[in-house]
Amino acid sequence: MVLLELGLTAVIMLHAALTASREGTALVRPYQRWYVYGIVLVCAFGVSALSEFTLQRGPLDMHPFKIPSESMEPTLLVGDHLIAARRPFSEKGPKRGEIVVFRHPRDTERHFIKRVVALGGDTVALREGRLFINSKPVIEPYAVYDGPPGANGKLDNFGPISVPADSVFVMGDNRNHSFDSRQWGPLKLELITGKALYIYWSWNAMLSAPRVSRMGMVIE
């Protein structure tokens, strides 16, 4: 699947380059050279081929995931492709602040990605968009809002609720555009399929170009 997506990306990039060269109307930027795109694609194909070969076979038991929505922006962008590993959770559950991939509790055929903000046994509450864990405010530099905190109604004023021992509480970093534990409740640990590790490929659909600077980025 990863190789197919990269193949389609290569075709799109080649078509755009040929069209621009024929019409002569495109403003060519320093990085928009055939050899630059060639190097990027060769590296991406190499990493992706190795990843696809080892994802389900290697000791880390890794799997790929593509960001489909804006719920984790600005940490993760639409078009980011990342690697998640199950091994970190083989002996103990995730930690607060870690980003996890999981099967959605209402549709286990679909995978979502969110940030763990509370663990089993914690008490969670939001007041005017401010997160409180066990009655203590939490500093969240990654959380963003479209408007002033608290303007999102019940989603910004939530709880308190207690997280069951076999679950965690997850939320998207883009708080006004995330379907998460605030709506459907705590996430059972058994539904988590991995911890997000790093971005191996990123595609900007608006510019029809790869985001080279994001490739290899460690996810935090």
Q: Do the beta carbons of residue 77 and residue 213 sit within 8 Å? A: no
Is 114 annotated in the active site?
yes
Catalytic residue among 48, 71, 178, 202: 71
Q: How far apart are CA 23 and CA 20, in angstroms?
A: 5
Reading the block at residue 61, the tokens are 């038991």
Strand partners for 185: none
Residue 170's alpha-carbon distances to 59, 101, 139, 140, 151, in angstroms, are 27, 11, 16, 13, 20
Is 181 annotated in the active site?
no
**Phi, psi values for residue 27, rounded to 5°:** -85, 110
Q: Do the beta carbons of residue 182 and residue 155 sit within 8 Å? A: yes
Q: Half-sphere exposure (CA, 13 Å, Cβ side) for 168? A: 24
Q: How far apart are CA 124 and CA 169, in angstroms?
A: 8
Reading the block at residue 195, the tokens are 């911890």
Catalytic residue among 21, 48, 51, 114: 114
Q: Annotate 73-111 with b (16+ C-beta within 10 A) or e (fewer).
A: bebbbbbbbbbbbeebbeeebbeeebbbbbbeeeeeeeb
DSSP state of 43: H
Catalytic (active-site) positions: 71, 114
